[in-house]
Structure 1
Amino acid sequence: MNVLHIDSGILGDHSVSRRLTAAIVAQIKADDPSATVTYRDLVAEALPHLTGAHLMAANAKPGELDAQVAADVRNSAIVLDEFLAADTIVVGAPMYNFSLPSQLKAWIDRIAVAGKTFRYTANGPEGLATGKKVIVVSTRGGHYSSGPAAAMDHQESYLTAVFGFIGITDVEFVRAEGLNLGADQKATAISEAEATISGLGSLKLAG
Structure 2
Amino acid sequence: MEKLLYITANPKGIEKSKGLKIGEAFLETFLEERPDVEINRVDLFAYEFPQMDADLVFARGKLAGYGYTIDQLSEPEREKITRMHKLADEFISYDYYVFVSPMWNLNSPAVLKAYIDNLFISGKTFAHTANGPKGLLSNKKAIHIQTRGGQYIGTPMQELESGDRYLKIALRFLGIDVMETVVAEGFDINPKRVPEILEQAIINARYAAKKFAKDSVLV
Do both proteins adopt the same fold according to a TM-score greater than 0.5, normalized to the shorter chain?
A: yes
Mapped contact 2:70–2:78 kept (Cα < 8 A): no
Q: 1:81: how far off?
A: 1.8
Q: 1:70: how far off?
A: 4.2
Q: Where does the alignment leave 5 or more consecutive residues of structure 1 unmatched?
A: none
Query: TM-score scaled by structure 1?
Result: 0.89
Q: 1:15: how far off?
A: 1.9
1:137 pairs with 2:121:
no
Partner of 1:76: 84
Q: 1:36: how far off?
A: 0.6
Q: How many residues align?
A: 206
C-alpha offsets along residues 27-77 of structure 1, whole Å, 9 cap, x if unaligned? Answer: 2222111211121110012434212311333435347433x5444334323
Partner of 1:26: 28
Q: 1:87: how far off?
A: 1.1
Partner of 2:194: 186
Measured in 1, the distance between the counterparts of 2:47 and 2:23 equals 17
What pairs with 1:156-167 in structure 2 (closer than 5 Å)? 156-167=164-175
Q: Where does the alignment leave 5 or more consecutive residues of structure 2 unmatched?
A: 64-68
Describe the shift of the 1:91–1:206 C-alpha distance in structure 2 as closer, same or farther (beyond 3 A).
Answer: farther
Measured in 2, the distance between the counterparts of 1:75 and 1:18 equals 28
Q: Equivalent of 1:115, from 123, 141, 164? A: 123
C-alpha offsets along residues 77-132 of structure 1, whole Å, 9 cap, x if unaligned? Answer: 33212221111100012111001111000111011222111111111111111111
What pairs with 1:35-184 in structure 2 (closer than 5 Å)? 35-58=37-60, 59=63, 60-62=69-71, 64-66=73-75, 68-184=76-192
Percent of aligned positions with the same letter in both sequences? 28
Mapped contact 1:88–1:205 kept (Cα < 8 A): no
Query: TM-score scaled by structure 2?
Result: 0.85
